[in-house]
Amino acid sequence: MGGQNFIINNRKRCMGPLHDGDYVPLDHFYKYMSGPRLGRPFARCKSCQSVRKRADAKNPMIVYDKVKFVFDELQNRLGKMEACRRLGVSHSFFSRRKSEGLKKIQRKTVIRAMHLLRECRENEEARHRSSIRRGATLRGEQERKPVRARDYYNTTQDNETEDRRSRRLTSLEA
């Protein structure tokens, strides 16, 4: 077995940040409680595991309301799907933020969003709302450039359109 070769005289080699390959007593390791590694020690000792957990705590979640403007501008410049693709988040990211009212967001996602927004501003990249809705690039058509403020993509118009469609369908069914 791979990690088991490092156990010598009831001591195991710790591959964590504090020890970096030094031998540590075997009772300083957590053991797997289930699965194919049942009873075997972890690769890192307990103290190195706690250091890793503290390092994760240095990257906390950020309150979404403080950085909402970044995501709103990205959505208006690129559209929902393109912004999600470039951020590396799921396609339901923006709708979940709105419907579930999530309060916090991961710091790494915010950092990626800020880098993307800066890149879009530097390149003056923005897509026209008609081009976004039509899927102009996928159809091989010329992209329109937004000139006025109303040319930018805005989700409230999508929501209003969906409301109108649902009202029209319910009135036809009645």
pLDDT, one tens digit per residue, over 30-56 is: 899 999 989 888 888 888 888 766 655
Domain layout of the chain by residue ranges: 3-57, 61-152
Long-range contacts, stretch 103-106, CB < 8 angstroms, 24+ apart? 103/63, 103/64, 103/65, 104/61, 104/62, 104/63, 104/64, 105/61, 105/62, 105/64, 105/67, 106/59, 106/61, 106/62
Q: Is the pLDDT of residue 17 over 90?
A: no
Provide mean pLDDT across the span 109-120: 90
- Decide: 161 and 173 in contact? Cβ < 8 Å: no
Provide mean pLDDT across the span 146-157: 65
Using a pLDDT cut of 70, give the percent of the chain over it. 72
Instruction: Please report the pLDDT score of residue 103 as a whole number.
Output: 79
